[in-house]
Chain A
Amino acid sequence: MAASLVRFVRNGFGRSLNVARQSAAIVQTRTTTTETRPTVRPKDPVTHTQLSEFGEYIAEILPKYVQQVQVTCFNELELMIHPEGIIPVLTFLKDHTNAQFHNMTDLTAVDVPTRQYRFEIVYNMLSLRYNSRIRVKTYTDELSPLDSSVPVHQAADWYEREIWDMFGVFFANHPDLRRILTDYGFEGHPFRKDFPLSGYVEVRYDDEVKRVVAEPVELAQEFRKFDLNSPWEAFPAYREPKDAPKLESGDKPAK
């Protein structure tokens, strides 16, 4: 990393940051230095601390918008922000001398229907000057519009069109927000979790009317649902404690 990354005082500023949290990591306890497990990905604590310090730096500069900062176990810095802060945070990351993330590599959405704000919009940025990547995440639901990031990064244009087409997230101030992947009269947003795999309509050429018609989908075989649960526990590091029924003081347990 270039020497111009500024050092700063790390003291608490009134909010807890999940800086040390690592997702899906199995903790290894090895005391020897000989390489006994060459197929396991080696940990890189130096990069991890550099990224977490940079994350704290950004959170200190932009406390109005940054809700959470984390560094994954694969040494990826993630910044969770409030949806009002999209343009300020992206402009800061692009223009600030210590950040210089001039490249927007990806812009996607993730649909998690159980949440109150079901869509999570993810921006991936790259800084060529400092050879570093960062991920910025926001949230929204089906009806709230987000600010378009096209004024900041031209690359966001088609990516936002894709998110509109596939998920139904509206971007305010986008220069040209229309469908990009679905058919011209297509109804629905295919990447949502409640949209079925084979869709609602199928198309065929009809010889009588001499054009392609859309009809409700007819599958030759009925949909088979497989139970894909494995007998083994998937995330042993993330077991949640089952709450035992609590008694108020003075109550006697039911016999």
Chain B
Amino acid sequence: MTTGLVGLAVIHNPHERLRILYTKILGSLQAMPQDAAYRKYTEQLINQRFNHVKAEPDVEKLEKKINCGQIEEVIAQAETELALSRKMTEWKPWEPLLEEAPANQWKWPI
């Protein structure tokens, strides 16, 4: 049993781990305003994957349904998404633009 990827160990209880991670992400998203685009799209994406995880007990078929590489990679993606959602609650990127660029900043050719 191997993932085929260096440094990525095989996980024997992926459904359990994904369930925990996805509930944590959805919990962390609750701290954002309802109309924040990040919350909307991430909730949509995570719910989609969560439903796949709940519906499909077989690991191979689950990987095919999610269609994002091996299940260990999916777990890694969920972990990074969790860290990101926590940082997003601090940064609050849904607020309006901080400052417009000066007039000709992005003009090319000059």
CA distance A191 to B101 in the complex (A): 24
Does any Cβ of A come within 8 Å of B87's Cβ?
yes
Given the interface pairs A57-B41, A235-B109, the reply to whether A96 lies near B68 with Cβ below 8 Å is no
Given the interface pairs A61-B38, A84-B98, A88-B87, the reply to whether A68 lies near B106 with Cβ below 8 Å is yes
Interface size on B, residues (CB 8 A): 36
Given the interface pairs A62-B93, A98-B41, the reply to whether A115 lies near B104 with Cβ below 8 Å is yes
CA distance A66 to B45 in the complex (A): 22
> Please, which residue of chain B has its CB at the minimum distance from the CB of A92?
B84
Interface segment, one of A1-9, A30-38, A174-182, A194-202: A1-9
Contact of A15 with B97 in the complex, beta carbons under 8 Å: yes
Does any Cβ of B come within 8 Å of A229's Cβ?
no
Does any Cβ of B come within 8 Å of A226's Cβ?
no
Does any Cβ of A come within 8 Å of B44's Cβ?
yes
Contact of A23 with B108 in the complex, beta carbons under 8 Å: yes
Contact of B67 with A8 in the complex, beta carbons under 8 Å: no
Q: Number of contact residues on A: which range applies? A: 35 or more
Chain B residues in 8 Å Cβ range of A66: 97
Contact of A63 with B67 in the complex, beta carbons under 8 Å: no
Which residue in B41, B78, B98, B104 is a CB contact (below 8 Å) of A65? B98
CA distance A65 to B105 in the complex (A): 15
Contact of A61 with B93 in the complex, beta carbons under 8 Å: yes
Contact of A95 with B80 in the complex, beta carbons under 8 Å: yes
Which residue in A3, A61, A92 is a CB contact (below 8 Å) of B67? A3
- Mark contacts of A82-94 with chain B using CB atoms, 8 A cut-off: 1 yes-contact digit, 0 otherwise: 1011001001101
Contact of A65 with B93 in the complex, beta carbons under 8 Å: yes
CA distance A3 to B37 in the complex (A): 20
Contact of A67 with B106 in the complex, beta carbons under 8 Å: yes
Does any Cβ of A come within 8 Å of B110's Cβ?
yes
Does any Cβ of B come within 8 Å of A205's Cβ?
no
CA distance A100 to B69 in the complex (A): 13
Does any Cβ of A come within 8 Å of B31's Cβ?
no
Chain A residues in 8 Å Cβ range of B37: 60-61, 63
User: From residue 31 to 84 of chain B, which have CB atoms closer than 8 A to chain A?
Assistant: 37-38, 41-42, 44-45, 66-69, 77-78, 80-81, 83-84
Given the interface pairs A4-B68, A61-B38, A129-B69, the reply to whether A67 lies near B97 with Cβ below 8 Å is yes
Chain B residues in 8 Å Cβ range of A92: 84, 88, 93
Contact of B81 with A97 in the complex, beta carbons under 8 Å: yes
Given the interface pairs A88-B91, A91-B84, A97-B81, the reply to whether A115 lies near B105 with Cβ below 8 Å is yes
Given the interface pairs A61-B41, A117-B105, A235-B109, the reply to whether A95 lies near B96 with Cβ below 8 Å is no
Given the interface pairs A4-B67, A8-B41, A238-B109, the reply to whether A67 lies near B80 with Cβ below 8 Å is no
> Please, which residue of chain B has its CB at the minimum distance from the CB of A4?
B68
Chain B residues in 8 Å Cβ range of A2: 67-68
Contact of B93 with A80 in the complex, beta carbons under 8 Å: no
Chain B residues in 8 Å Cβ range of A85: 93, 98
Chain B residues in 8 Å Cβ range of A112: 110
Contact of B93 with A64 in the complex, beta carbons under 8 Å: yes
Residues of B near any A CB (own CB < 8 A): 37-38, 41-42, 44-45, 66-69, 77-78, 80-81, 83-84, 87-88, 91-102, 104-106, 108-110
Could you list some 6 contacts between A and B, CB below 8 A?
Answer: A2-B67, A4-B66, A61-B93, A65-B97, A67-B106, A91-B84
